[in-house]
Amino acid sequence: MYRLTCVNCGESYRPDEIIYTCRSCGHLLAVEYDLDSITVQREVWNHRPLSVWRYRELLPVTIPPVTLHEGGTPLYHLERIGKEIGLPHLYAKHEGMNPTGSFKDRGMTVGVSMALQLGKTTVACASTGNTSASLAAYAAKAGIPAVVLLPAGKVALGKVAQALMHGAKVISIRGNFDRALEMTQELCLSHGLYLLNSINPFRLEGQKTIGFEAVDQLGEVPDRLVLPVGNAGNISAVHKGLSELLALGFIDRLPMMTGIQAAGSSPVVRAIRQGLPEVVPERSPETIATAIRIGAPVNAEKALAAIRKTGGTAEMVTDEEILAMQRDLARKEGIGVEPASAASVAGVRKLTEAGVIDRTERVVCVVTGHLLKDPETVIRQCEAPTEIDADLRSLLSVLQSS
Ligand code: AN7
């Protein structure tokens, strides 16, 4: 049992209303469960496979879900990087191991299921890439059409490839992500498509399960959860979910929610540093981590509250720091992630060096997308393969010379 509640004024709406923002004040809506009616025991969850649907009592879907087996992603102990940074309890939850290679699949299994539950027949989103790849795949699984709007020339190759191959109608606009999102919202409101960006409260319900899994895998609540921040939906979702577990008495405290942005695209970090009540949008965000090249994060209000309430923080990292950590994760830990994902661990390094993160903390970084999402940025950082004649002498001679 749940309803939709405005995060600002508390106005509530029926769960079957197609509505994305509050009619009274225009702020975002969140799914609010009647927690007294939720009687599931943690034991029951623990006996189910680790996945988004382990936690179905805290999800809004009542029909058989549209699923590609999302969630259940590995939690790795970053032994080498942790040692270098001086953080013995540093972990990475590798969301790149989801069906389409990013955490967005957790949101889309719930979001596309809700589209069907609500009787919608076409879905749409704006995207810096991963959302479009995921929506395209889940729409394909559901057997309904998807429309995706991308900022032209600013989406990593693998993501465009996925959106196209899964059969979405892919449209590149000559503008940035923030403009694409405005246009998609207008399109959905005027033409009845179902909007699956992170202003959709149901999609975020799926994403909150990252936090549930992290707690279950670690066997305790981490001291700190660190996420890369773009539209700020994911950090808000994880905080909301863990707050529900706290209210249910399943956990006894919340982790310090910590958001990392790219230096060229950091409105949330600036709002936290300056103590602002809301973010000041950036008109021309820029970063090599195109996934988080977002200047006007729509979920910022919730993210600022999550960070402040839990005693967390926000930090920015340069493109160089992001790429250096992408290489470290790949070479020292065997973990392949895209640049935006490396931002979380790069931020932890910076915050630990600055003394903000205590060395005894248990820190879980969410690494959000797979290395293969953005092969071009990878290739540009690496030396080309050595090409030789097809004989053993040539092979031995290059091996000896290196
Ligand atoms: C790899 O796909 O916004 O702060 O349109 O792809 O919840 O926005 C992607 C975001 C982090 C930021 N890491 O999450 C999109 C999109 C990766 C991402 C984020 C994104 P939010």
User: Residue 314 falls within a domain, yes or no?
Assistant: yes
Average pLDDT in the 20-36 region?
97
Q: For residue 311, is it within any domain? A: yes
pLDDT at 59 > cutoff 90 = yes
Residue 309 lies inside a defined structural domain of this protein: yes
Here the CATH number for the domain that contains residue 318 is 3.40.50.1100
Residue ranges making up the domain that contains 88: 75-101+203-381
Closest Cα to atom 8 of ligand 1: 231
Q: Write out pLDDT tens, residues 341-393.
A: 999 999 999 999 999 999 999 999 999 999 999 999 999 999 999 999 999 99
Question: Residue 1 — very low, low, confident or very high, per pLDDT cuts 50/70/90?
Answer: confident
Mean pLDDT in residue range 91-96: 98
Q: How remote is the CA of residue 235 from the centroid of ligand 1, in Å?
A: 10
CA of 130 to the centre of ligand 1 (A): 7
* Mutation choice for ligand 1 from 292, 298, 299, CB with most ligand atoms inside 8 A: 292
Which of 97, 104, 370 is the pocket-test mutation for ligand 1 (most atoms within 8 Å of CB)?
104
Mean pLDDT over residues 154-177, rounded? Answer: 98
Choose which residue among 138, 171, 368, 372 to substitute to test ligand 1 binding: the one with the highest number of ligand atoms within 8 A of its C-beta.
368
C-alpha distance across the termini of the chain, in Å: 64
How far, in Å, are 95, 278, 315 from residue 136 at the CA level? 18, 33, 32
Is 287 part of any domain? yes
What's the CA-to-centroid distance between 127 and ligand 1, angstroms?
8
From the centroid of its chain, how far is CA 367?
A: 8
Residue 363 domain flag? yes
Q: State the virtual CA torsion across 302, 307, 311, 314 in degrees, nearest 10.
A: -160
- Say what percent of the chain tops pLDDT 90: 99
Q: What is the pLDDT of residue 264?
A: 97
Say if 272 falls within a structural domain.
Answer: yes
Ligand 1 site: residues with CB under 6 angstroms? Answer: 102, 127-131, 198, 228-234, 291-292, 338, 340-341, 368-369
Work out the average pLDDT over 3-26: 96
Q: Which of 106, 73, 345, 89 is nearest to 238 (CA)?
A: 106
Predicted confidence (pLDDT) per residue in 301-345, tens digit: 999 999 999 999 999 999 999 999 999 999 999 999 999 999 999
Ligand 1 atom having least distance to the Cα of 369: 1
- Say what the pLDDT of residue 119 is: 98
The answer to whether position 278 is within a domain reads: yes
Considering the chain, what is the average pLDDT of its residues? 97
Show the tokens assigned to 85: 């940074």
Determine the pLDDT at residue 401: 85
CA of 163 to the centre of ligand 1 (A): 15
Sheet holding 12-13, edge to edge: 12-13, 2-6, 29-33
At residue 46, φ and ψ (nearest 5 deg) are -65, -20
Residue of minimum CA distance from atom 9 in ligand 1: 291
For residue 130, the ligand 1 atom closest to its alpha carbon is 2
The domain total for the chain is: 1
Residue 360 in any domain: the answer is yes
pLDDT at 305: 98
- Claim: this prediction has a pTM higher than 0.95: yes
Model confidence at 85: pLDDT above 80: yes
In this predicted structure, the answer to whether residue 102 has a pLDDT above a threshold of 80 is: yes
Q: Which of 130, 227, 288, 304 to mutate to test the pocket of ligand 1 (most atoms within 8 A of CB)?
A: 130
Question: Count H helices, E strands: the chain?
Answer: 15, 13
pLDDT at 315: 98
* Residue reference for tokens 């002498």: 393
On the question of pLDDT at 402 being above 80, the answer is no
Q: Looking at ligand 1, which atom is closest to the CA of residue 294?
A: 3
